[in-house]
Amino acid sequence: MKILTWNINSVRLRAPLALRIIAELGPDIVCLQETKCPDEQFPLKEFTKAGYGHAHYHGMKGYNGVAVLSKIPFHAVRKWDRVSKSDCRHIAIEINSQKFKKPVQIHNLYVPAGGDIPDVTANDKFAHKLDFVDELKSFFASSYAHTDPMVAVGDFNIAPLEHDVWSHKQLLDVVSHTPIEVEKLTAMFESVGWVDAIRTFVPENEKLYTWWSYRNRDWKISNRGRRLDHIWVTEPLKTHLKGYTVFKEARDWQQPSDHVPVMAEIDL
C-alpha cells in the first residue's frame, strides 16, 4: 500500500497537480494538508473520477484544512479540534489489513507554522504551535499503545534533525528548527515509540528536504530546503516498510506548492 502526504496549498487551485501526481505515483491513499477549502466546496468529483471515491475531509475558508482520499474503503472517520481551536488540522481514518488483527489507523496532521518570531511571549502563533505539539504528544500517549498499528503523516512544520535543514547553525533561531520545537516534536515522537519511515531509508547524516521557499529565485541552485513533511509509523509497521518517494519533480511544475509530495510504501 502506498500512502502519500502533500501540503497542497489550496486544493481547488492545485487539484490538477494532485491528479497528475496521482497518475505518476499511483498512491492508494492521499493525505492533503492546507486545503483552504470549506467542505461544501471540496472538489471531490475530480478525485472520484480518478478512482479516489472514498474521502474524509475537514476544511475551512481560506486557511488550513486536511483531507484523506483513498482508492480503498475505510471506516471510523474522526476529526479533532486542538488547543481549543476549530481550525481543521487533525483527522484520522481506519483501514483493514491482512497483516494485523487490529485496523490500521492513519492520522493526517497539519501542525501550525508558528509565525516568524520564536518567542512565545512576543508571538501567539509560536505559542499555539508548541501547545499544539504538546497536546498531540499527550493525545497519542493517552489514547494508544506502542503495539497499535498506526501511521501519522502530514506537514509537521518542524525539521527536527541536523540534516533536515540546509544549515543547522543558521536555522537554530529560525521557526521550524529551533531547539524548543525540536524538543517538543521529539517528545511527541517518543509518545508511542514512533518510527521515522523515510529516515529508515535515508540515513540521518544525509540531507533530505521536502520544502523550498517561494522566495528562492531558483530553488534547485540555492537548495535551501527543510524537511517539514513526515511519515511516521508505529513499531509493528517498521518491518513492513518497503520503500519511499520524495517527489521533488513536482516543485518544478507550473504554480507548484512550496512542499513536495512524500510517499511511503507499506506492506499491509
pLDDT tens figures, 93-147: 999 999 999 999 999 999 999 999 999 999 999 999 999 999 999 999 999 999 9
Region of residue 65 (left: phi > 0; alpha: psi -120 to 50; beta: else): left
Cell of 223: 537548495
Number of structural domains the chain divides into: 1
Q: Domain range holding 62? A: 2-266
- Residue 49 has a pLDDT of 98
Low-confidence ranges of the chain (pLDDT < 50): none
Domain CATH number, residue 69: 3.60.10.10
Helix (H, G, I), strand (E, B), or coil: what is residue 230? strand
**Cα–Cα dist 18/8, whole Å:** 8
116 CB contacts (<8 Å, ≥6 apart)? Answer: 123, 175
pTM, to two decimals? 0.98
247 CB contacts (<8 Å, ≥6 apart)? Answer: 21, 24, 25, 260, 261, 262, 263
- Residue 216 has a pLDDT of 86
If DSSP states are collapsed to H, E and C, what string results for 154-195?
EECCCCCCHHHECCCCCCCCCCCCCHHHHHHHHHHHHCCCCE
